[in-house]
């Protein structure tokens, strides 16, 4: 696995930059969910967003982002912790659209709907905020969220390249965020620097490293690299949790499964890991009620 992100800080200029190169985890998600190209790309962008937003968390905090749109993909849910463990799925992975243009990709999610961001900051209550979708473009939605809901001048940029069959070749993104007291227009300045560069996925595809991309972005500005964090697709599901999900159905429902199907398979939404429960397993669960 070659995925990682870099966190960099230009203290004097008052800005932090996060650059994420995460092709492998986006491809793994596409594989696990058997996505068609448009869904692979949209999910890949959302996973990149999760990596970038996860880099803003403190130790042991977690973030979940749910994009619910009016387009054919319906819903994309992604999660990240602050350790680079990321997972996600798309409701309709087998949507097939003829074109893979940015407009079409945004339309696959849809321009009407909601982005819900839930953070587990280790407080008794989860923090949840919701903003309306504007275009269906994942990076634009997250940029709007950070500026609007969190009131921090920020910019997220996510890009990808695909081969002739529409398979993901490169996926990456960056996040630029002003530091308090947010006095300068530093985000705008760096946005201008980005606009003079090729899209980030093209840079990665041509062999540029995240380190080199950070350097291109800052130009003459002095900065410090704070962290290099490996990223990977990882799901927290396991057999015990699947067992708990079955127990929560109640004894009558479990008896019903035994009577009708004999055994059952719990399929994880996030990673498609399958947990098989035989008749004996189910009967043992019943004994514990
Ligand atoms: Zn799982």
Q: Mean pLDDT by 10-residue block, N- to C-terminus, for the chain (289 residues)?
A: 93 96 98 97 98 96 98 98 97 94 97 97 95 97 95 96 95 97 92 94 96 96 97 96 94 95 94 95 92
Residue 226's pLDDT is what? 97
Both 134 and 222 in a single domain? yes
Both 254 and 141 in a single domain? no
CATH of the domain at 73: 3.55.30.10
CA of 158 to the centre of ligand 1 (A): 25
User: Which residues are paired to 90 by β-bridges?
Assistant: 76
Both 214 and 248 in a single domain? no
List C-alpha distances in Å: 72 to 55, 87, 113, 165: 30, 21, 12, 21
Both 215 and 110 in a single domain? yes
CA of 281 to the centre of ligand 1 (A): 20
List all residues 6 or more positions away from 18 whose beta carbon is below 8 Å from its beta carbon: 5, 6, 7, 8, 52, 55, 56, 174, 175, 177
Both 211 and 252 in a single domain? no
Both 158 and 194 in a single domain? yes
Q: Tell me the residue range of the domain where 67 lies.
A: 4-233
Counted domains in the chain: 2
CA of 196 to the centre of ligand 1 (A): 40
CA of 268 to the centre of ligand 1 (A): 5
Both 138 and 258 in a single domain? no
Both 227 and 245 in a single domain? no
> What is the maximum span of the chain, computed from C-alpha positions, in angstroms?
71
The predicted model scores a pTM of 0.95
Both 257 and 218 in a single domain? no
Both 59 and 145 in a single domain? yes
């Amino acid at each position: 696995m070659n995925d990682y992100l870099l966190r960099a800080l230009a203290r004097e200029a008052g800005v932090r930059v996060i650059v994420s190169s995460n092709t492998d985890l986006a491809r793994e998600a596409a594989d696990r969910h058997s996505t068609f190209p448009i869904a692979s790309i949209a999910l890949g962008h959302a996973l990149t967003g999760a990596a970038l937003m996860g880099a803003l968390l403190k130790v042991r905090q977690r973030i979940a982002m749910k994009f619910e749109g009016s387009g054919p993909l319906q819903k994309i849910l992604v999660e990240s912790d602050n350790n680079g463990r990321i997972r996600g799925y798309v409701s309709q992975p087998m949507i097939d659209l003829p074109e893979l243009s940015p407009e079409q990709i945004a339309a696959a999610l849809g321009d009407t709907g909601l982005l819900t961001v839930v953070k587990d900051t280790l407080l008794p209550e989860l923090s949840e905020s919701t903003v309306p979708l504007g275009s269906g473009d994942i990076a634009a939605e997250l940029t709007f969220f950070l500026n609007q809901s969190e009131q921090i001048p920020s910019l997220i940029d996510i890009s990808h390249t695909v081969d002739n069959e529409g398979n993901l070749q490169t996926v990456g993104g960056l996040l630029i965020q002003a530091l308090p007291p947010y006095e300068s227009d530093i985000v705008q300045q760096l946005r201008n620097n980005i606009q003079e560069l090729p899209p980030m996925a093209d840079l990665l595809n041509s062999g540029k490293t995240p380190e080199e991309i950070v350097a291109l972005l800052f130009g003459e500005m002095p900065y410090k690299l704070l962290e290099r964090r490996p990223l990977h697709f990882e799901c927290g599901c396991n057999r015990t949790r699947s067992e708990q999900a079955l127990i929560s159905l109640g004894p009558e429902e479990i008896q019903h499964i035994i009577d009708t199907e004999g055994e059952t398979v719990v399929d994880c939404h996030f990673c498609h890991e399958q947990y098989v429960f035989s008749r004996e397993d189910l009967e043992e669960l019943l004994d514990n009620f």
